[in-house]
Amino acid sequence: MKFPAPLSIEWMADFLSAEIVGKSDKSILGINEIHVVEPGDVVFVDHPKYYNICLSSAADFIIINSKEVTIPEGKVIFVVTDPFEAYLKIVRHFHPLTIPEKSIHNNLQVGEGTVIMPQVFIGKNVRIGKDCIIYPQVTILDDTEIGDRVIIQSGTVIGSDAFYYNTKKNRPHWFKKMESCGSVYIGNEVEIGAGCTIDRGVTGITRIGNGTKLDNMVHIGHDTHIGENCLLAAQVGIAGGTILEEGVTLWGQVGVSKTLTIGAHATVLAQSGVPSSLKGGKTYFGYPAEEAGQKRRELVWVKRIPELWKKVMEG
């Protein structure tokens, strides 16, 4: 999330009651989590294990709970007791919860020829392009941008919060919600079936590329980027921060884990599970998903075990 205007280092230190270490003449442009950080951003880190990743990232500003770190030239750290609470304080200040008073927010921008059917909810800061069809009972939450000629079928929810928690098992309430301030972008000619859910980015953007089609009950996690001309069949689920390059096909009930990449023109057969990245241009199958030919041969080999057993045990 970018701030509405650049912030000074002093303002931020004062806002967070933080000590400033390091020197920079830059302003703070936005807040992001470490996976999607850009120059000018502030990030937070609260575990020594991740200190170096954050300090050496593109972020120019780091909210941290220790001074005993080596600060790269030109970067500034904000030292606080609880960096996660500092993150929440910033997000709540610049992206407060909208309490809508009616079903369609006043500032909605809609292109010519777009049809919005009854019982649709549309939040703040939403843009919808031309010649779209939004079916009854669709929910489009704040900060969503939708292209032209998009179809969204009934019961679908766009812009739900990420499933993303700060976890510490030494307190009564283990999981604290990493509040989402990101957004959703849906390209032209995208079609989304009934009963789908597309989470917003935590601080970044969840993207569905031009011409991609989703069947019913497809779940897309936060910050996931789906390329152009992908086909996702019913009940597919994709976790957060994953990339599908263009022309990927996932058949029914496929599950894809987080922060991985599926290469262009790959096909994953029904019910397969994808725990790690897959190269493009091939067909995959099974859990963990492997090249389909290899996996099918394995199924045949399993059927030969009794023959093998007989030969070995009975001579």
Q: How far is the CB of 95 from a second copy (least distance, A)?
A: 14
Q: Which residue from 147, 182, 247, 263 is in contact with a second copy, where contact means CB under 8 A?
A: 247
Chain residues 35-94 in contact with a second copy, contact rule CB under 8 A = none
Q: Which lies closer to a second copy via its Cβ, residue 137 or residue 261? A: 137
Closer residue to a second copy (CB): 4 or 172:
172
Quick check: is 47 catalytic?
no
Taking CB under 8 A as the criterion, which residues in 174-233 touch a second copy?
174-175, 177, 189, 191, 193-197, 199, 210-211, 213, 215-217, 219, 221, 229, 231, 233
- 35, 93, 219, 222: the catalytic one is 222
Contact string 94-133 vs a second copy (x = CB under 8 A): ---x-xxxxx-----------x-xxx-x-x---------x
Task: Name residue, tokens 């995208």.
Answer: 190
Residue 77 or 122: the one with the smaller Cβ distance to a second copy is 122
153-172 positions binding a second copy, by CB under 8 A: 153-157, 160-161, 163, 165, 169, 172
Residue number with CB closer to a second copy (5 or 99): 99
* Residue among 25, 112, 306, 314 that touches a second copy (CB under 8 A): 306
| Count of chain residues binding a second copy (CB under 8 A) | 79
Active-site residue set: 222
